[in-house]
Amino acid sequence: MRNASIKLLAFLAALALFMPPAAADYVPYFVSAPFNYFSTDMRPIEVSLGIPQYDKASGTVKSVRRNSAKELVDGPPISVVHIPRAYIMFANTYSSSRRALSGFRHEILPDRIVSDHLTLAVAYPDGSPLSVSYGAFHRNKPNLKLLGRDIDKIRKDEQARAIVLLANIYVSQNNNMRNTEVLSYKVFGGPEYVGMYEGFKHYRGSGTSQSFYDLGSDDIVAIRCYGNMEIAPPGVYCSYRFPLNSSIEVEMHFLDFRIHGGRAFARDRVRAFKKFACPIFHCDEKALRAAEVKGSV
């Protein structure tokens, strides 16, 4: 009997190694990693937007800033926002890894965090958390033709990519992000000017990279895609950059606008994201009103 009990305990222990932890919700599209958090919990996390630093004396994480000499000094966060936990896939510095920095190792994100870079996983078109919407995608039987060109023709296990809006939120003390972003595309990409495309200045960069940017005050600033649009499959992504206000910039990833409907396609997805994000991050009101007039948000 004793040997049988030992064998049963050994079996249960081995089984536990192959079972996902109860705290982690699985999103099929993403690779599981210590720095990725997935949850369906809609209770908000308080996020202080600033550079995180662990304070050994108090055992807490505080927000710091960079002074004119680029040194880290004590200072308040740029903003404090409340985001439902289910949206936050990544918060810079936080991880469940044993190699995480002191004070930043957490199996589940704390209710209060400090970070200068978040990744939010949002579903199109309703702006719900991707962790909630992805698993129910086929069960809800969406009209695939409304999500992009030829989405109904790609593999079923890849079709749900059509709703994915991955938004990297970057916090900066630079109040002129728009111009510096455009310049960075010009300088570091070494691009060759091709011409105008969908109202964007189109540049061909190194390899297969294609850059598109616009200096308008209320629209998408820059887009980067890869590959020839004539042969690109419908499931490929581009990155889209735009500011929410003077200190918060977004780099969002979603389907290639060159394939699926041009600038209107890109604007529609940015509009869906801003409807969710602006009440949280306080978009620049002047730019937002102008964008609403243009129909870009």
102-127 residue pLDDT tens: 888 888 899 999 999 999 999 999 89
Output the CA angle 276-171-266, nearest 5 degrees: 45
Is the CB of residue 226 less than 8 Å from the CB of residue 206? Answer: no
The structure tokens listed for 294 are 């243009």
Q: Which amino acid is at 291?
A: A
Q: What is the pLDDT of residues 43-53, one digit of tens each?
A: 999 999 999 98
In this prediction, residue 142 carries a pLDDT of 86
What lies within 8 Å, CB to CB, of 53 at 6+ separation is 61, 62, 63, 64, 72, 114
Does the structure show a pLDDT above 60 at 61?
Answer: yes
Is the CB of residue 137 less than 8 Å from the CB of residue 160? Answer: yes
Across all residues in the chain, what is the average pLDDT?
79
What lies within 8 Å, CB to CB, of 119 at 6+ separation is 88, 89, 90, 91, 166, 167, 168, 169
**pTM (2 decimals)?**
0.81
Is the CB of residue 263 less than 8 Å from the CB of residue 256? Answer: no
In this prediction, residues 61-74 reach a mean pLDDT of 84
User: Which residue bears the tokens 């649009």?
Assistant: 229
The structure tokens listed for 246 are 């003077």
What lies within 8 Å, CB to CB, of 100 at 6+ separation is 34, 93, 94, 106
Residue 97 backbone dihedrals phi, psi, to 5 degrees: -70, 150
The structure tokens listed for 286 are 């002047």
Does the structure show a pLDDT above 80 at 272?
Answer: yes
Is the CB of residue 181 less than 8 Å from the CB of residue 293? Answer: no
Cα separation, 238 vs 225, in Å, equals 5
Cα separation, 283 vs 269, in Å, equals 16
Is the CB of residue 78 less than 8 Å from the CB of residue 173? Answer: yes
Q: How far is CA 190 from CA 57, 107, 111, 185, 199, in A?
A: 47, 42, 43, 8, 21
Is the CB of residue 252 less than 8 Å from the CB of residue 238? Answer: no
Least confident of 7-11, 120-124, 145-149, 209-213: 7-11
In this prediction, residue 285 carries a pLDDT of 60
What lies within 8 Å, CB to CB, of 254 at 6+ separation is 124, 164, 165, 166, 237, 238, 240, 269
In this prediction, residue 9 carries a pLDDT of 38
In this prediction, residue 21 carries a pLDDT of 31
